[in-house]
Amino acid sequence: MNQPFLDVKKISKIFHPGREVKVQALVDISLTFDRGEFVVISGPSGSGKTTLLNIMGGLDSPTAGDVFLDGERITGVEEKFLSRLRRDHIGFVFQAYNLIPVLTARENIEYVMQLQGRSRSECDRRTREVAEKLAIAELLDKLPGEMSGGQQQRVAVARAVASRPKLILADEPTANLDSKSAEGLMDMMQSLNQDERITIIFSSHDPLVIGKAKHSILLKDGQVTADEFPG
Query: For binding to another protein (CB under 8 A), which residues are involved?
Result: 54, 59-61, 79-80, 83-84, 86-88, 90-92, 94, 98-103, 107, 111-112, 114-115, 117, 143, 159
Residues whose CB falls within 8 Å of the CB of residue 121, separated by 6 or more in sequence, listed in order: none
Interior CA angle at 24 toward 18 and 29, to 5°? 155
Q: Identify which of residues 5 and 92 has a Cβ nearer to another protein in the complex.
A: 92
Least Å distance, CB 83 to another protein, is: 4
Q: Identify which of residues 87 and 205 has a Cβ nearer to another protein in the complex.
A: 87
Least Å distance, CB 112 to another protein, is: 6
* Dihedrals phi, psi of 107, to nearest 5 degrees: -65, -35
Contact 136, 164 (CB under 8 A): no
Q: Identify which of residues 43 and 91 has a Cβ nearer to another protein in the complex.
A: 91
Q: Identify which of residues 156 and 210 has a Cβ nearer to another protein in the complex.
A: 156
Instruction: Give 225: exposed, middle or buried? Use CB within 10 Å, 0-12, 13-18, 19+.
Output: exposed
Least Å distance, CB 161 to another protein, is: 12
Q: Identify which of residues 80 and 180 has a Cβ nearer to another protein in the complex.
A: 80
Least Å distance, CB 143 to another protein, is: 7
Nearest CA-CA partner of 156 in 139, 180, 199: 139
Three-state SS at 99: coil
The number of CA neighbours under 13 Å toward the Cβ of 157 is: 32
Contact 168, 90 (CB under 8 A): yes
DSSP string, 43-79: -STTSSHHHHHHHHTTSS--SEEEEEETTEE-SS--H
Instruction: Give 229: exposed, middle or buried? Use CB within 10 Å, 0-12, 13-18, 19+.
Output: exposed
Least Å distance, CB 91 to another protein, is: 8
Please count the helices (runs of H) and the strands (runs of E) in the chain: 7, 10
Q: Identify which of residues 163 and 216 has a Cβ nearer to another protein in the complex.
A: 163
Least Å distance, CB 158 to another protein, is: 13
Least Å distance, CB 207 to another protein, is: 27
Q: Identify which of residues 20 and 79 has a Cβ nearer to another protein in the complex.
A: 79
